[in-house]
Amino acid sequence: MIVPCVVLFSLLALSQSANPCCSNPCQNRGVCVTKGFDQYECDCTRTGFYGENCTTPELLTWLKITLKPAPATVHYILTHFRGVWNIINNIPFLHNAIMRYVLMSRSHLIESPPTYNGHYGYKSWEAYSNLSYYTRTLPPVPHDCPTPMGVKGKKELPDSNIIVEKFLLRRKFIPDPQGTNVMFTFFAQHFTHQFFKTDHHKGPAFTKGLGHGVDLSHIYGETLDRQLKLRLLKDGKLKYQMIDGEMYPPTVKETQAEMMYPPHVPEHLKFSVGQEVFGLVPGLMMYATLWLREHNRVCNILKAEHPEWDDEQLFQTARLILIGETIKIVIEDYVQHLSGYHFKLKFDPELLFSQRFQYQNRIAAEFNTLYHWHPLLPDTFQIQDQEYTFQQFIYNNSIVLEHGLSHMVKSFSKQRAGRVAGGRNVPAAVLKVAKASIDQSREMRYQSLNDYRKHFLLKPFKSFEELTGEKEMAAELEELYGDIDAMELYPALLVEKPRPGAIFGETMIELGAPFSLKGLMGNAICSPEYWKPSTFGGQVGFDIVNTASIQSLICNNVKGCPFTAFHVINRETAATINISTSNTAIEEINPAVLLKERSAEL
């Protein structure tokens, strides 16, 4: 009888010491606050719900819930009925109203000002004001909970090595059914490195980034010291070198702006750009070179328009123009492709001027985690008639010079990227990164997948089979985790069943889109104070922003204006819209005409 009694008393002690908020009793975004060691109360303020656990809807809330279609239904409507959407896209007031709703409904899911961070699971001035932290969407699981996910699941999470090897490791390359290409893959990696900058010396809760958004620090450098090293300090331009008549980044030796290169890389191939890691792969250096050329091109235009301006004003104005170009490309090309919508997304800050909207942003740790899209990477990289393995590709800037940007753009536009959702598609070469994502998530004590789904107004999964859409992985996951409410966020995003014919599952889109749109539209240049021609050097600069696209970026900076997009193209597609693939001078091809023809073809 002694042993059972000991066990009983141990269980009683555990139940008494456990934080009552570990079970996440407060629903519908209610906030759990402990009262003593074994009591809690739910703060339901402005949630639209009331009751002990914020589960009873107010009348207006009930009506909204009743009338609101499920995310899957909305997605189906937006990705079907092309003819109807073509009509809506051409009715300005209707199109604008829908776009405004898209922006506001997504952005309002992101807390602004920020609420929590990796060390503060309650509101505090430190969590709000300390920019060295990533913010947190949900507070960390308390240390004194019975299980790593609160109260559900097993006492210990499964070995992360087992998770990556059984569920994430690629057996055979699975192409993305949406037709995402490698041009998109490197854009995603290049673009996000300006705000995903984990400080690995401090830990995964911390960021080295100061801007927490689209500030183009990956082009201009995070600090003023690095920026000045990269600047020509004449006519607003960045330093560059000319090789075979084309502009490329300067070397580390010339700028003294250090980069992360292994010792074997020769000095003349150690290109120096804003983000110190961009020497890693030629795809990143391709985009770094494109934006270098674009910055200096814009400076030439501004100099002609404003001969009275000094170097500083030319530089600062060109930077604002490039920020505007980036946001427009991300919304109208990048997010448009990912969405698969027939509804045409539009970058128009004026849509929000009459709305309650805060022009600030903080990068969330969860956003950083979900953006690890390594399944996009193919097994090898094909440029012209050459194929490069990962080992041949990394730290090899000679590829950029050997092939040139024109051939890189053509080749990456035609090569298909991998599907992200569905599991078992992470290349072996980057498996360590996937494992680190799981380990860091555990260190950050992320709440479960279902907790995040509920926070973003999605129904929690009832089973592993509902999550994966099949039986084999579902059974293995259930054996390892024990309970669907204990399933971890990051591996769940990669094993979740994709939406029909899509690159992602529902959770990735419904969590990622709010972070993305709030971060883009919360930029200072989108505010009423900034969004006017004078901010961008007059109408000429404003027009550069308002006509930007991935195609115009290429046409203005790459010989021959090779046709590109974020989805795979082929020679037949290019031929149908009369795209020249010869070395025609860039200015001979009108991007506006090209894009009009492409739109008609689609």
Beta bridge mates, 35: 39
Question: What region does 502 belong to: left with phi over 0, alpha with psi -120 to 50, or beta?
Answer: beta
Active site residue 193: yes
Q: Which residue has the tokens 């985790």?
A: 481
Q: Is 389 helix (H, G, I), strand (E, B) or coil?
A: coil
Measured CA to CA, the distance from residue 566 to residue 578 in angstroms comes to 19
Beta bridge mates, 204: none
**Alpha carbon separation from 329 to 418, 503, 577 (Å, rounded):** 22, 20, 21
Token pair listed for 353? 């001027």
Beta bridge mates, 381: 388
**Alpha carbon separation from 455 to 29, 157, 296, 450, 572 (Å, rounded):** 6, 23, 44, 9, 45
Token pair listed for 85? 């959407």
Q: Is 521 helix (H, G, I), strand (E, B) or coil?
A: helix
What does the angle CA 33 – CA 35 – CA 41 come to, to the nearest 5 degrees? 45
DSSP 204-252: TTBBS-SSSS---HHHH-SSHHHHHHHB-SSTTPBP-EEETTEEEPPBH
From the CB of residue 63, how many other CB atoms can be counted at a distance below 10 Å? Answer: 11
Measured CA to CA, the distance from residue 479 to residue 465 in angstroms comes to 12
From the CB of residue 12, how many other CB atoms can be counted at a distance below 10 Å? Answer: 10
Which residue is catalytic, options 75, 190, 193, 407?
A: 193
Measured CA to CA, the distance from residue 448 to residue 145 in angstroms comes to 13
DSSP 399-441: HHHHHHHHHHHHHHHHSBPBP-SSSS-B-GGGHHHHHHHHHHH
User: Residue 460: is the preceding peptide bond cis (ω within 30°)?
Assistant: no
Q: Based on the number of CB atoms within 10 Å of its own CB, is 35 exposed (0-12), middle (13-18) or buried (19 or more)?
A: exposed
Measured CA to CA, the distance from residue 481 to residue 264 in angstroms comes to 44
Measured CA to CA, the distance from residue 318 to residue 299 in angstroms comes to 6
Active site residue 395: no
Which residue is catalytic, options 120, 220, 371, 490?
A: 371
- End-to-end distance of the chain based on CA atoms, in angstroms? 77
Positions marked active-site: 193, 371
